[in-house]
Structure formats: structure tokens, C-alpha cells
Amino acid sequence: MSEAALAAVDWGTSSFRLWLLDAKGAVVAERRGPDGMLVAGTEGFSAILERYLADAGAPADLRVIVCGMAGARQGWVEAPYVSVPAGVDAILAGAVAAPAAGRDVRILPGLAQRQADAPDVMRGEETQLAGILPLFSQGNHLICMPGTHSKWVEAEDGVIESFRTWLTGELFSLMSTHSILRHSLDGAPGAAAHDDPVFANACGRALEDGGDVGSGLFRIRAATLLQDLQPADAAATLSGLLIGAEIASARRVFQASSQQVVLVASGALGLLYATALKLAGCTVIQADAEEAVRTGLFEAAKRLGWVERAA
């Protein structure tokens, strides 16, 4: 096993992921847990980081590059937003040193879109963008980054021009746990399978409805009452409705000239979005979200001179 050259951390609101990377960016060790920003406010950012580093066997002087909510105003130290339009280098150049970390820890900034009529922000996804944009350095690309807060990004010749957020994952969670629909979804075995025809059907209908999610939500409750819709199918319907509406809405907002969408996602969510995007008539280029963020973090380390640029 090669030696760790640095640690790379993706520190979200409710999750923490750490990789030890060697001088070529290969993964030497990996740790993940629920210690996101919400927890870190209590235990302390440095304490959590040191706990994970020790668990992964990192030496005391190993340098750490971080992205995500640790750089928010209410995080460890604020890494001020970089405004779009912005290239990858502007993101990588914005790293801020964490105070009293006991080692060299740098936190990457988020992105802000400051247009008066379309304000938006991201923290974490910009580092995924830094990881993949070198592959899309020419022409216009629409990038879909699904999640609790899905981000859609328009990039032109490798520059992030604009972006927008859809609360799709959060809406799914809220609707299934707090709304009238919880009675319909109660007992559902988690997310839909990407090849579930119930998902495809709901998604296709939402795409036809052009992003209008409101007219379809209560139908799920009514179908439970009148048509004996089962919880798993209710969950697949809600998932298809929300994802289909997001895609229709995003394509309207960005008025994409091409049918191509770069999907940056992992696991089951990636499969669902790939299915939905194909239903929408899109050509999908898929990049793994975890690999993208690791690559972005490693690029930042290179820029800091922590590893050879030639690596």
C-alpha cells in the first residue's frame, strides 16, 4: 500500500467523508460517518477531523484539504463564496486555512450566483465541478448533480456560467415523513428501483407536466384511498414525480440547446436520474460524484504544491 500524501474531506451538512490519498491521488484509506456540520457545531470541527484521521491511521503532520459546509459562515472558518462566472482555478485558489487545527488544513470556498433575480449558492458541489470540468473544457454543457439539494450547472468552455438548486431530495424526505403523503408511504422499503415501471410512469407524467409538481402530489394520497396503492409504489411514484419535475423544470430554466446532460452522481440515485434523464430524451454522460469530489480535492492539493503537479 502506498503512503498517504494528504487527506481529502467532503464535509457536508449531515455527513463526513475522508480519504487518505497517495501522491498520485489514489485512495489509501477511506472513512465516512454522520458527523456533518450540524454535529460539528457541538463536538468541534478539529476534534471530529482528528478522530477520523486517527482512525484512518494518518500521521500527525498530514495535510488536509476540505470542501463543503465546513467553509460556511456557521462552519469551521468561512471560505467566502467565489462568484460565478468562475473557472476551476478560481475555486481552487480560494482555499482558506482553518485556525487552530494543529496541522495544515485548508477549506475550499463555495460558489455564489449574485444576480438579483436568481441568487443561488453551493458548497461542496463546486469541488465536484473542479474534478470533472477539465473533461468538458470546450463548448456548452449542462451538468446535473442530484441530491438533497440538486444543483444544475451550465458551463461554457470550462467556466461555470450559472447554476440553480432544486430541493428534490429534501422535498422527498419532507413529504414522506411530515406531509399527508406519509400515510401513503409508511412502510415503503426506501427509494425506488431505477427499473421500476411505477417510477418511470410517474416520471414520464411529470415530464409531460413540465415541472408542475403541485398538481400531482395529492394524487398519491388519493390513489391509496381509492386504488389501494401500496407504500412501495407510493414511494416510487413520489420519487418519479419529483425527479421528473426537476428535470423538466431545469431544462426549461436552462433552455439547453443540446440534449446532452452530464450527470454527476453515485449509486442508486445516479441510476434513478439516469433513467429519468433518458425518459426526458437526454443523452447522459455519467460521472461518479465521489470520484469527482476526490479529484477536485486532489487538484486543490496540487495547486497548493502539496503534491507534484505532474502527478
* Binding footprint of a copy of itself on the chain (CB under 8 A): 81, 112-114, 116, 118-121, 149, 164-168, 170-171, 174-175, 178-180, 209-215, 217-219, 221-223, 225-227, 242, 245-246, 248-250, 252-253
User: Minimum distance between the CB of residue 58 and a copy of itself, rounded to whole angstroms?
Assistant: 33
Toward a copy of itself, which CB reaches closer, 218 or 308? 218
- Amino acid letter for position 69: M
CB of 169 to a copy of itself, least distance (A): 11
Taking the C-alpha atoms of residue 128 and residue 126, their distance in angstroms, rounded to an integer, is 5
Tell me whether residue 5 or residue 263 sits nearer to a copy of itself (CB atom): 263
Cβ distance to a copy of itself smaller for residue 58 or 69: 69
Of 11 and 166, the one with the shorter C-beta distance to a copy of itself is 166
Distance CA 198, CA 208 (A): 16
Q: Please, what is the minimum distance in Å from the beta carbon of residue 22 to a copy of itself? A: 37
39 or 167, CB closer to a copy of itself? 167
CA 257 to chain centre: 24
> For the chain, first and last CA: distance in Å?
17
Cell numbers given for 100? 487552530
CB-CB contact of 130 with 158 (8 Å): no
Least Cβ distance, residue 25 to a copy of itself (angstroms): 32
| Minimal distance, residue 180 CB to a copy of itself, in Å | 6
When the beta carbons of 161 and 209 are compared against a copy of itself, the nearer one is 209
In the bound complex, what is the minimum distance in angstroms from residue 285's beta carbon to a copy of itself? 23
How far, CA to CA in Å, does 259 sit from each of 141, 161, 274?
A: 10, 18, 13
* Residue 138 CB-density burial (10 A; 0-12 exposed, 13-18 middle, 19+ buried): exposed
Gap between the Cα atoms of 113 and 146, Å rounded: 19
Angstrom distance (rounded) from CA 181 to CA 213:
14
Minimum distance of a copy of itself from residue 30's CB (angstroms): 28
- Cα–Cα distances (Å) from 248 to 4, 60, 119, 156, 213, in that order, read 44, 49, 20, 21, 10
Task: Output 69 or 292, the one with its CB closest to a copy of itself.
Answer: 69
